[in-house]
Amino acid sequence: MPISEDHVGRTYPATASYQVSRAKIAEFAAALGDATCPAYGGDDPVAPPTFAVVLSSAAWDAMFADPELGLSLSRTVHVDQRFAWRRPLRAGDEVTATLTIEKVRARGATSIITIAVDLATTAGEPLCTATSTLMHTAQEAA
Amino acid sequence: MTTLEATEGQALPGFTRTVTRADLVRYAGASGDFNPIHWSDAAAASLGLPDVIAHGMLTMGTALRVVTDWAGDPGRVLSYSVRFTKPVVVPADGGADVRFAGTVTKVADGVATVAIEAVCGDTKVLGAAVAEVLLG
Q: What is the ipTM of this complex?
A: 0.95
Which of A83, A128, A137 best tests the B interface by mutation, with the highest count of B CBs <10 A?
A83
Q: Which fold has domain B11-134?
A: Thiol Ester Dehydrase; Chain A (3.10.129)
For chain A, the structural domain boundaries read 5-20+47-137
**Residue B1 — very low, low, confident or very high, per pLDDT cuts 50/70/90?**
low
- Give me the pLDDT at residue A139, please: 78
- Give me the pLDDT at residue A142, please: 42
Q: How far is the first Cα of chain B from the last one, in angstroms, to the nearest whole number?
A: 9
Q: Quick check: helix, strand or coil at residue A89?
A: coil
Pairing of strands B96-108, A126-137: unpaired
Beta strands in chain A (DSSP E): 18-19, 76-85, 94-107, 110-121, 126-137
Q: Is A30 on the interface with B (CB under 8 A)?
A: yes
Q: Give the Cα separation of B67 and B108 in Å (integer).
A: 17
Low-confidence ranges of chain A (pLDDT < 70): 1, 140-142
Q: How far is the first Cα of chain A from the last one, in angstroms, to the nearest whole number?
A: 12
Phi and psi at B51, nearest 5°, equal -170, 180
- Give me the pLDDT at residue B112, please: 98
C-beta of residue B135 within 8 angstroms of C-beta of residue B72: no
pTM: predicted TM-score of the whole model, two decimal places: 0.95
Domain A5-20+47-137 CATH class label: alpha beta
Residue A40's contacts (CB-CB under 8 Å, 6 or more residues apart) are A25, A26, A29, A34, A46, A47, A48, B74
Q: Is B22 on the interface with A (CB under 8 A)?
A: no
Question: Closest Cα of chain B to A88: distance in Å?
Answer: 5
What's the angle, vertex CA A47, arms to CA B91 and CA A123, rounded to 5? 135
